[in-house]
């Protein structure tokens, strides 16, 4: 019980405090307040701090949270650039760009933090040109689309995305699963079969035609994750198909994560790299975190950075249980041009009457000697009057496996106003898998990014962080983000566990 004393309430409260003290059972000595470290301030770490603050408020906990981030900004792989480096122009997402209407944490955060949506600068799966290595074909109108693939295949292809989105929806309910290992969640959601098959294998069993798989599904898998439908697992492929109605946050998605940290009241340590986590007790329970800023002891540590991309040293008993996880190195090229279209002839396509504004790669194109030059090319937006002589410009985003040379870009698009190139390890390579990292690693040590080999989105990081905070609350305070008994208090539509109790 908490005893806040003032002159007027003193006699009553003082009496209650004495009673409470007299009746509380002897407790093992622990540090007061309870200190928690969160390593990483991307979607996972920032939301972990936010869920901890919700738990603290509802359970009246004496908890202090430090967030360590090696970069000089919050948001991790959600970050933006301004065309021409001009802050008067709308920024463009460089990494994680979209969230879907079913992403209830993102939707709720945008509303609660007073942010707004935009569809500026996101290539929202308007597939208008396929390059198969020889020609650029289109599936523009609905009529053509149905004629090419057939209603049966189109219908069959929609079943799995709906089921998968439905399964994710169950994670917001008061009755949601809570998981100590990624495998436990995979089983609860019935995803093991899809995770152990490639997208191509799985959609074949769904009676989706090979033509649809090789063209449309391949094109979207490459545009979303730069990976091949023959190599990527079926959950990853399916998440890429479920982006109808997706938007991004006006001014940048990372504002959601900045607001999570701000609202949490946590101490944010930017430019501070965590280098080692170790325990002073054999069974864990108290953890020492060594960072570029020094050494500090914590009651719990939440790892919210991809283990394989960080330089953090962990107890071998833990690090040995994380399966190897290669990440996909993605080269992003952003450019502006006054050219009305790119040079389709350069790609070997002749007689293109209406050049498409976006081009996606089919499986056949990947079989060309040397492979495809890029994974997708999308015209994302029109910039008003930024070109020479005040002309409007197209803003184009290209994903490729290699750095695109200026000479290549000159050939492909002609005149360019602004060009920006960035390379990073954007997401895990989502190969079929049957073993996954642990979430609850040891007493007081938790791993948020354990979900990434299954699904890697901003939203699923916030969901994984909420689960971790629930595990922590259960282990250390015999409670949850929503205290027991309160969690079923609302059946209101729009109920989202953690935001509502």
Does the protein bind ligand NAG through residue 211 (CB under 6 A)? yes
Q: Pick out residues in 237-266 that bind ligand NAG (CB under 6 A).
A: 245, 247
Of 198 and 272, the one with the shorter C-beta distance to ligand NAG is: 198
Of 89 and 275, the one with the shorter C-beta distance to ligand NAG is: 89
The contacts of residue 155 (CB under 8 Å, 6+ apart) are: none
User: By rule CB under 6 A, what string of x and - marks binding of each residue 28-67 to ligand NAG?
Assistant: ----------------------------------------
Shortest reach from residue 326's CB to ligand NAG, in Å = 28
Quickly count: other Cβ atoms within 10 Å of residue 387's Cβ: 19
Q: Which of 52, 454, 458 is nearest to 253 (CA)?
A: 458
Main-chain dihedrals φ then ψ at residue 99, nearest 5 degrees: -130, 150
Residue 492 has what DSSP assignment? -
Binder of ligand NAG out of 13, 71, 140, 178 (CB under 6 A): 178
Of 196 and 490, the one with the shorter C-beta distance to ligand NAG is: 490
Q: Which span sits near ligand NAG by CB under 6 A: 107-115, 147-155, 191-199, 297-305?
A: 107-115
Would you say 441 and 277 are in contact if contact means Cβ atoms under 8 Å apart? no
Residue 321 has what DSSP assignment? T
Q: Using CA atoms, how far apart are residues 83 and 393, in angstroms rounded to an integer?
A: 11
Does the protein bind ligand NAG through residue 206 (CB under 6 A)? yes
Shortest reach from residue 180's CB to ligand NAG, in Å = 4
Q: Which span sits near ligand NAG by CB under 6 A: 22-30, 64-72, 86-94, 186-194?
A: 86-94
User: Using H for helix, E for strand and C for coil, what is the string for 345-377?
Assistant: HHHCCCCCCCCCCCEEECHHHHCCCCCCCCCEE
Q: Give the dihedral sign, CA 215/218/219/220.
A: positive
Any idea which residue has 């879907």 for tokens? 100
Quickly count: other Cβ atoms within 10 Å of residue 449's Cβ: 29
Of 64 and 194, the one with the shorter C-beta distance to ligand NAG is: 194
Does the protein bind ligand NAG through residue 486 (CB under 6 A)? no
Q: Pick out residues in 125-164 that bind ligand NAG (CB under 6 A).
A: 132
Angle at 454 between CA 126 and CA 188, to 5 degrees: 115
Of 75 and 91, the one with the shorter C-beta distance to ligand NAG is: 91
Does the protein bind ligand NAG through residue 297 (CB under 6 A)? no
Give, rounded to a whole angstrom, the gap between the first and last alpha carbons of the chain: 21
Does the protein bind ligand NAG through residue 384 (CB under 6 A)? yes
Does the protein bind ligand NAG through residue 440 (CB under 6 A)? yes
Does the protein bind ligand NAG through residue 488 (CB under 6 A)? yes
Helices (H), 129-208: 142-149, 151-169, 182-189, 192-196, 199-205
Q: Using CA atoms, how far apart are residues 220 and 228, in angstroms rounded to an integer?
A: 10
Shortest reach from residue 385's CB to ligand NAG, in Å = 7
Binder of ligand NAG out of 14, 19, 21, 111 (CB under 6 A): 111
Does the protein bind ligand NAG through residue 493 (CB under 6 A)? no
Under the rule (CB under 6 A), what is the footprint of ligand NAG? 86, 88-90, 101, 107, 110-111, 116-117, 132, 178, 180, 206-207, 211, 214-215, 245, 247, 364, 384, 440, 488-489, 491
């Amino acid at each position: 019980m908490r005893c806040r004393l003032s002159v007027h309430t003193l006699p009553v409260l003082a009496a209650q405090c004495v009673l409470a003290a007299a009746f509380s059972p002897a407790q093992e000595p622990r540090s007061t307040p309870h200190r928690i470290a969160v390593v990483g301030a991307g979607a996972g770490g920032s939301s972990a701090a936010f869920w901890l603050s919700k738990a603290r408020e509802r359970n009246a906990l004496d908890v202090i949270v430090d967030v360590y981030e090696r970069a000089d900004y919050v948001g991790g792989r959600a970050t933006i650039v301004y065309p021409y480096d001009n802050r008067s122009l709308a920024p463009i997402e460089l990494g994680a760009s979209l969230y879907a209407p079913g992403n209830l944490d993102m939707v709720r955060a945008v509303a609660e933090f007073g942010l707004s949506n935009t569809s500026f600068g996101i290539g929202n799966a308007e597939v208008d040109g396929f390059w198969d290595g020889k020609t650029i074909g289109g599936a523009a109108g609905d009529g053509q689309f149905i004629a090419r693939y057939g209603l049966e295949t189109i219908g069959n292809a929609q079943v799995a995305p709906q089921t998968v989105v439905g399964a994710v929806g169950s994670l917001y309910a008061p009755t949601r699963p809570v998981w100590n290992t990624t495998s436990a969640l995979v089983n609860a959601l019935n995803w093991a079969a899809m995770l152990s098959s490639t997208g191509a294998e799985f959609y074949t069993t769904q009676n989706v035609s090979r033509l649809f798989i090789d063209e449309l599904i391949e094109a979207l898998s490459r545009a979303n994750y730069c990976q091949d439908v023959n190599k990527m697992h079926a959950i990853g492929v399916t998440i890429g198909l479920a982006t109808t109605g997706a938007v991004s946050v006006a001014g940048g998605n990372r504002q959601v994560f900045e607001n999570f940290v701000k609202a949490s009241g946590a101490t944010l340590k930017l430019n501070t790299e965590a280098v080692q986590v170790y325990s002073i007790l054999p069974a864990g329970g108290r953890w020492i975190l060594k960072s570029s800023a020094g050494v500090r002891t914590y009651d719990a540590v939440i790892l919210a950075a991809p283990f394989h991309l960080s330089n953090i040293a962990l107890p071998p008993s833990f690090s040995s249980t994380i399966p190897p996880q290669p990440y996909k190195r993605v080269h992003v090229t952003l450019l502006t041009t006054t050219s009305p279209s790119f040079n389709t002839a350069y790609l070997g396509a002749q007689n293109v009457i209406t050049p498409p504004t976006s081009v996606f790669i089919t499986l056949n194109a990947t079989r060309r000697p040397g492979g495809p030059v890029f994974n997708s090319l999308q015209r994302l937006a029109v910039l008003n009057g930024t070109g020479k002589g005040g002309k409007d410009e197209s803003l184009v985003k290209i994903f490729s496996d290699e750095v695109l040379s200026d000479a290549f870009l000159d050939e492909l698009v002609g005149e360019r106003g602004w060009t920006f190139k960035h390379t990073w390890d954007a997401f895990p390579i989502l190969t079929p898998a049957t073993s996954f990292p642990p979430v609850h690693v040891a007493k007081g040590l938790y791993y948020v990014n354990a979900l990434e080999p299954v699904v890697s989105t901003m939203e699923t990081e916030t969901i994984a962080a909420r689960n971790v905070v629930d595990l922590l609350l259960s282990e250390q305070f015999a409670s949850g983000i929503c205290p027991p008994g309160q969690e079923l208090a609302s059946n209101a539509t729009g109920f989202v566990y953690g935001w509502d109790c």
